[in-house]
A and B are shown apart, each in its own frame.
Chain A
Amino acid sequence: NAGVTQTPKFQVLKTGQSMTLQCAQDMNHEYMSWYRQDPGMGLRLIHYSVGAGITDQGEVPNGYNVSRSTTEDFPLRLLSAAPSQTSVYFCATQPGMGDTEAFFGQGTRLTVV
């Protein structure tokens, strides 16, 4: 039981490049979300999904796309990377709506040069 798995752990991109951050969970949780964490700051919500086929925007969605074709996977796409997107990205899951505990992945450290 791996929990929440994020890949890659580290990535360097050039400005304008695109890439997909992967998030997979084996806990059969309905709710999944993506956060970014800038140095010395708390996490900020980018996008979230309440179930397969349903996604919605969080606090800071600009420059990112998501899709949820299966319960297990929730990839985050950067369409055209910018230096302002340099951050650590965390994926999280929760069993369902209103559930107490969120389970976070180990994070992906992204640097855009």
Chain B
Amino acid sequence: LAKTTQPISMDSYEGQEVNITCSHNNIATNDYITWYQQFPSQGPRFIIQGYKTKVTNEVASLFIPADRKSSTLSLPRVSLSDTAVYYCLLRGAGANNLFFGTGTRLTVIP
């Protein structure tokens, strides 16, 4: 199973845009890139998923270059409530099982 690599932690001030990059050099042709968010003492929550180029929803944007060897989760104008751990996962098409790494701990500072 292809592995993902993310920064262990990041700090950001309120109101800034935050970009979290995930490296997945061995991504398979049928893998989708999925991001989850986890607050303390809660289960993970789905944020966004993409295959290539750019995907945007009401919460975040996901940028995927043509070679798909990395991806960037972009959170616009973060607030204190965005403090959480963010996980980048690869999920094969048709597969349900999720394989989590250690994620990126984002701390938003007032």
The reply to whether the CB of A90 lies closer than 8 angstroms to some CB of chain B is: yes
Complex: chain A residue closest to B93, CB-CB: A98
Contact between A102 and B98, CB atoms less than 8 A apart: yes
Contact between A48 and B41, CB atoms less than 8 A apart: no
Across the interface, which residues of A come within 8 angstroms of B97, CB to CB? Answer: 33, 45, 48, 58
Chain A interface residues toward B at CB < 8 A: 4, 31, 33, 35, 40-45, 48, 50, 58-59, 90, 92, 94, 97-107
Known: A42-B87, A100-B34, A100-B49. A107 touches B100 (CB 8 A): no
Contact between B98 and A43, CB atoms less than 8 A apart: yes
Contact among B34, B98, B102 for A45, CB-based, below 8 A: B98
Known: A104-B43, A104-B45, A105-B43. A45 touches B99 (CB 8 A): yes
How many residues belonging to B are interface residues under a CB distance threshold of 8 Å?
Answer: 22
The reply to whether the CB of B96 lies closer than 8 angstroms to some CB of chain A is: yes
Known: A42-B100, A44-B100. A97 touches B49 (CB 8 A): no
Complex: chain B residue closest to A104, CB-CB: B43
Complex: chain A residue closest to B97, CB-CB: A45
Across the interface, which residues of B come within 8 angstroms of A41, CB to CB? Answer: 102
Closest Cβ of chain B to A101, distance in Å, is: 4
CA distance A28 to B43 in the complex (A): 19
Complex: chain A residue closest to B46, CB-CB: A101
Contact between B46 and A102, CB atoms less than 8 A apart: yes
- What are 13 A-B contacts defined by CB distance under 8 Å? A40-B102, A42-B102, A43-B44, A45-B98, A50-B96, A59-B99, A92-B98, A94-B96, A98-B96, A102-B36, A104-B45, A106-B42, A107-B42
CA distance A79 to B103 in the complex (A): 31
The reply to whether the CB of B94 lies closer than 8 angstroms to some CB of chain A is: yes
CA distance A40 to B102 in the complex (A): 7
Across the interface, which residues of B come within 8 angstroms of A100, CB to CB? Answer: 32, 34, 46, 49
